[in-house]
């Protein structure tokens, strides 16, 4: 018998523990910059993406759930940030087992979010303001309430049977696969109707689609074409490396699982034999026909494999985001427990610098520190105490908006929103937290330890309602919000931030504008890490055509100094998160400074 706890943990650990793979560029990559190189100009390289969790942005009808009308009514605010693209988490019909990541109809809008007419208005209003819309594409799996699955499960001879992965029970139990949001940790669920098991890498409400079936692929491409014809500007592709699997389902031994999470991904779970063939087919049949952008959620991808998704010559996708950065600082072998010692800045620098070098000659990277699957940026990577919250939040935003790679900026981070840190399991809404709690409970595990860990790492921390003002529900809803509003809305909110000239909000607007004004350097310029062993300060230069900028970031609560070895006598300070910047390379707690050198 395998230990269920460990099995369920496996799936998440697999994405958390992304082993640093060999980073030697291939010979092909070393060839001098071509038209497909990183300085080849594209709108999606110059853009700042703002991710909105629609359920928590703005409710318009008092049911406590954010919706499209509400979102549309707030587009002037979005525009005021200077961002170019909005990525929306899934808004399709869904029974919401996993907040929209379980789609029951790809061609309709989730009832709670509104109607297709509301969508059309929202898209038109975005485009009117020069904002592009990127939708979430969830096609590794759909909902068990999707018509395809209803048909598929109804009989072994149904024409939709092969839209999913079935294992007839007369063959015995299928080889173990993890099901990440399941109380028993299993990725196969027995369905008595046809005496078979079906595969689901997430909850049993999210059956995995069978991409080996050409009809499935054609259905998905046709659906994507319909959305592009409606005018959407791109897709963020949920767990796209998982679509192709080894469908012989070889046994993964307990030993292998224990010793080699990442290997299990590569060999068994995702990155299957036809992955890139399918992505190239998708590119031919859909993506190549439109001026759009694509982003792979690169679960399980490494520095060695990322280029396979985004090398322009391969004609697959434009960008990918990795998990190596956000995996730093967790304790190995435990479910999302942070190392109480915190994370190493030297390791942080190494990860982001390593990923920059992957795309030094070809392809294009991305940069993010928070999203709907991660805790709040300032709690996780900065310091959410009243003393340091604003400074550290500004410092982290400075990092995001001065690195090479398209920034994916998570809504609310411009306000320095923090983790809500629920004490009680009853306050959580996320299937991941609820089912892991139930699993630990059923095994007699340490529930308090689990809850303590979730205060830092739970996904619900970043899903609480957006804080517009200091009123009871922060201006999010007139009803009862689907998840609690953070009490600190009294100080952290848009209304207060608009009035305060030193707010994080105004600072982020300046950063977004600076990235545009200095596009040659801050978007396309070369990145060089300096002073890499410095445990407190992250410093780097960006440069292009003899023009150079220096970015100094203090990640600690104490004063610290950078040692860049550069002559700063003629350097001009362009932006600093303290009202009066200190001189030279000295930095106060969480100070961020951008300098122009030439
Ligand atoms: O996440 C996929 C993924 O890699 C998960 O393991 C993710 O890291 C998870 O949140 C771990 O805590 C995507 C979506 O972003 C996520 O919201 C969905 O729940 C998941 O796919 C299933 O669609
Ligand atoms: Ca609503």
What confidence score (pLDDT) does residue 299 get? 87
Q: Which ligand is nearest to the CA of 102?
A: 1
- Determine how β-strand 592-596 pairs with β-strand 572-576: antiparallel
Q: Which two tokens stand for residue 191?
A: 């369905």
Instruction: Say if strands 188-191 and 234-237 run parallel, antiparallel, or are unpaired.
Output: unpaired
CB 10 within 8 A of CB 257: yes
Domains of the chain and CATH, by start = 147-199 (3.90.400.10), 526-597 (2.60.40.1180)
d(CA 66, CA 467): 12
Which position among 297, 318, 373, 585 bears the catalytic label?
297
How far, in Å, is the centroid of ligand 2 from the Cα of 484? 15
For the stretch 544-557, pLDDT in tens is 999 999 999 999 99
Query: Could you say which ligand is closest to the alpha carbon of residue 301?
Result: 1
Name the closest ligand to CA 430.
1
Q: What is the residue with the minimal CA distance to atom 10 of ligand 1?
A: 373
Assess whether pLDDT exceeds 60 at residue 221. Answer: yes
pLDDT at residue 7 tops 50: no
Of ligand 1's atoms, which has the minimum distance to the CA of residue 371? 15
Q: Is 238 a catalytic residue?
A: yes
Pocket test for ligand 1, best of 9, 239, 322 (most atoms within 8 A of CB): 239
pLDDT of residue 227: 98
- Distance from the CA of 595 to the center of ligand 1, in angstroms? 38
Atom 23, ligand 1: which residue's CA is nearest?
Answer: 101
Q: How confident is the model at residue 266 (pLDDT cuts 50, 70, 90)?
A: low
Query: Does position 580 have pLDDT exceeding 90, yes or no?
Result: no
**Is 258's pLDDT higher than 90?**
no
Catalytic annotation on 356?
no
**Taking a C-beta distance cutoff of 8 angstroms, is the pair 511, 397 a contact?**
yes
Could you write out the DSSP letters of every residue in 357-415?
HHTSSSS--EE-S--TTS--HHHHHS--STTTHHHHHHHHHHHHHHSSSEEEEETTGGG
Match 């730093």 to its residue by tokens: 328
Euclidean distance between CA atoms 64 and 345, whole angstroms: 40
Mean pLDDT of the 277-296 span: 98
Which residues have CB less than 5 Å away from ligand 2 (the ion)?
59, 61, 63, 65, 67
Q: d(Cα 502, Cα 166) in Å, to the nearest integer?
A: 58
DSSP letter for 266, please. Answer: I
Which of ligand 1's atoms lies nearest the C-alpha of 431?
A: 19
Query: Which of 90, 91, 180, 240 to probe ligand 1 with, by most ligand atoms within 8 A of CB?
Result: 180
Tell me the mean pLDDT in the region 440-469.
98
pLDDT tens per residue across span 353-373: 999 999 999 999 999 999 999
Q: How far is the CA of 237 from the centre of ligand 2 (A)?
A: 26
pLDDT for 3: 37
Report how far residue 282's alpha carbon sits from residue 201's, in angstroms, rounded to the nearest whole number.
Answer: 22
Is 48's pLDDT higher than 50?
Answer: yes
Exposure string over 135-156, b if 16+ CB within 10 A, otherwise e: bbbbbbbbbbbbebbeebbeee
Alpha carbon nearest to ligand 1 atom 6, residue = 12
Q: How many A from CA of 238 to the centre of ligand 1?
A: 8
Helix, strand or coil for residue 470? coil
> Which residues have C-beta atoms less than 6 Å from ligand 1?
12, 15, 98, 101, 138, 180, 202, 238-239, 297, 299, 372-373, 432, 459
| Straight-line distance from the first to the last Cα atom of the chain, in angstroms, rounded to the nearest whole number | 65
From 101, 136, 373, 437, give the residue whose CB has the most ligand 1 atoms within 8 Å, as the site to mutate. 373
Instruction: Give percent above pLDDT 70 in the chain.
Output: 93
What tens digit of pLDDT does each residue of 300-352 get?
899 999 999 999 999 999 999 999 999 999 998 889 999 999 999 999 999 99
Torsion, Cα 561 562 565 568, to 10 degrees, reads -80
Note the pLDDT of residue 406: 98
Task: Decide if 109 contacts 538 (C-beta within 8 A).
Answer: no
Say whether pLDDT at 212 is over 90. Answer: yes
Ligand nearest to the CA of 209: 1
Residue 425's Cβ-count burial label (10 Å; 0-12, 13-18, 19+) is middle
Report the nearest-CA residue for atom 7 of ligand 1: 373
Q: How far apart are CA 72 and CA 121, in angstroms?
A: 8
- 435 with 181: CB under 8 angstroms? yes
| Out of 136-145, 239-248, 259-268, 448-457, least confident range | 259-268
Q: Which ligand is nearest to the CA of 70?
A: 2
Closest CA to 492 of 411, 416, 394, 388: 416
The pLDDT value recorded for residue 38 is 83
Give 64 Cα–ligand 2 centroid separation in angstroms.
6
265 falls in which pLDDT band (50, 70, 90)? low
Nearest atom within ligand 1 for CA of residue 101: 23
Nearest CA to ligand 1 atom 17: 373
Catalytic residue (choose from 98, 238, 311, 414): 238
3-class secondary-structure state, position 529: strand
Q: What's the gap in Å between 374 CA and the centre of ligand 1? A: 10
Q: How confident is the model at residue 36 (pLDDT cuts 50, 70, 90)?
A: low
Nearest C-alpha to atom 2 of ligand 1 is from which residue? 239
Tens of pLDDT, residues 146-201: 999 999 999 999 999 999 999 999 999 999 998 989 999 899 999 999 999 999 99
pLDDT in tens, 497-515: 999 999 999 999 999 999 9
Atom of ligand 1 nearest to the CA of 16: 8
Phi-psi domain of 100 (left: phi exceeds 0; alpha: psi -120 through 50; beta: other)? left
What is the value of pTM for the model shown? 0.94
**Ligand 1 nearest atom to the CA of residue 180, by list position:** 6
Distance of CA 299 from the midpoint of ligand 1 (Å): 9
Q: What is the largest CA-CA distance in the chain?
A: 78
* pLDDT at residue 288, as a whole number: 98
188 closest CA partner among 155, 162, 166: 166
Higher pLDDT, 177 or 58: 58
| Statement: residue 6 has pLDDT above 50 | no
């Amino acid at each position: 018998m395998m230990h269920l706890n460990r099995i369920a943990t496996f799936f998440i650990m697999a994405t958390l523990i992304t082993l640093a793979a060999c980073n030697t560029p291939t010979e092909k990559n070393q060839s001098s910059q071509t038209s497909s190189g990183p300085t080849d100009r594209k709108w999606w390289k110059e853009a700042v993406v703002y991710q909105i969790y629609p359920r928590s942005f703005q409710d318009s009808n008092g049911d406590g759930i954010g919706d499209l009308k509400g979102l549309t009514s707030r587009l002037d605010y979005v525009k005021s940030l200077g961002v170019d693209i909005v990525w929306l988490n899934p808004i399709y019909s869904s029974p919401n087992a996993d907040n929209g990541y379980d789609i029951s109809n790809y061609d309709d809008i989730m009832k709670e979010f509104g109607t297709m007419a509301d969508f059309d208005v929202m898209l038109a209003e975005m485009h009117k303001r020069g904002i592009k819309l990127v939708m979430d594409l969830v096609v590794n799996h759909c909902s068990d309430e999707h018509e395809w699955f209803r048909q598929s499960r109804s009989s072994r001879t149904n024409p939709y049977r092969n839209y999913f992965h079935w294992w007839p029970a007369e063959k015995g139990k299928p080889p173990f696969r993890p099901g990440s949001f399941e109380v028993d940790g299993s990725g196969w669920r027995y369905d008595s109707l046809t005496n078979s098991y079906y595969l689901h890498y997430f909850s049993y409400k999210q059956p995995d689609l069978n991409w080996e079936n050409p009809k499935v692929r054609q259905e998905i491409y046709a659906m994507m074409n319909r959305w592009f014809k409606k005018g959407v500007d791109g897709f963020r592709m949920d767990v796209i490396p998982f679509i192709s699997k080894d469908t012989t389902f070889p046994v993964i031994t307990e030993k292998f699982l224990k010793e080699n999470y990442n290997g299990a991904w590569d060999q068994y779970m995702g990155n299957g034999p036809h992955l890139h063939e399918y992505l190239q087919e998708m590119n031919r049949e859909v993506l190549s026909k439109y001026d759009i952008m694509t982003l792979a959620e690169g679960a399980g991808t490494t520095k060695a494999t990322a280029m396979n998704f985004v090398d322009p010559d391969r004609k697959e996708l434009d960008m990918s985001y990795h998990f190596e950065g956000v995996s730093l600082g967790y304790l190995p072998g435990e479910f999302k427990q942070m190392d109480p010692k915190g994370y190493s800045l030297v390791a942080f620098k190494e990860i982001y610098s390593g990923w920059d070098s992957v795309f030094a000659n070809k392809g294009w990277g991305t940069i993010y520190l928070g999203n709907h699957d991660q805790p709040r940026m300032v709690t996780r990577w900065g310091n959410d105490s009243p003393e340091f919250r604003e400074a550290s939040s500004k410092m982290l935003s400075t990092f995001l908006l001065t690195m090479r790679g398209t920034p994916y900026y998570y809504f609310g981070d411009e306000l320095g929103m923090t983790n809500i840190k629920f004490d009680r399991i009853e306050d959580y809404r996320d299937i991941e937290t609820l089912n892991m709690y139930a699993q630990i409970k059923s095994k007699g595990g340490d529930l308090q330890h689990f809850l303590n860990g979730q205060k830092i790492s739970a996904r619900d921390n970043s899903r609480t309602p957006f804080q517009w003002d200091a009123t009871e529900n922060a201006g999010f809803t007139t009803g009862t919000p689907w998840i609690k509003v953070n009490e600190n809305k009294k100080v952290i909110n848009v209304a207060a931030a608009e009035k305060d000239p030193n707010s994080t909000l105004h600072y982020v607007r300046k950063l977004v504008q600076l990235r545009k004004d200095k596009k040659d350097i801050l978007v396309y310029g070369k990145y060089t890490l300096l002073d890499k062993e410095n445990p407190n300060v992250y410093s780097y230069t960006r440069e292009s055509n003899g023009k150079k900028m220096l970015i100094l970031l203090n990640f600690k609560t104490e004063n610290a100094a950078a040692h860049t070895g550069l002559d700063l006598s003629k350097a001009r300070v362009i932006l600093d998160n303290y009202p009066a910047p200190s001189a030279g390379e000295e930095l106060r707690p969480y100070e961020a400074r951008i300098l122009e050198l030439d």
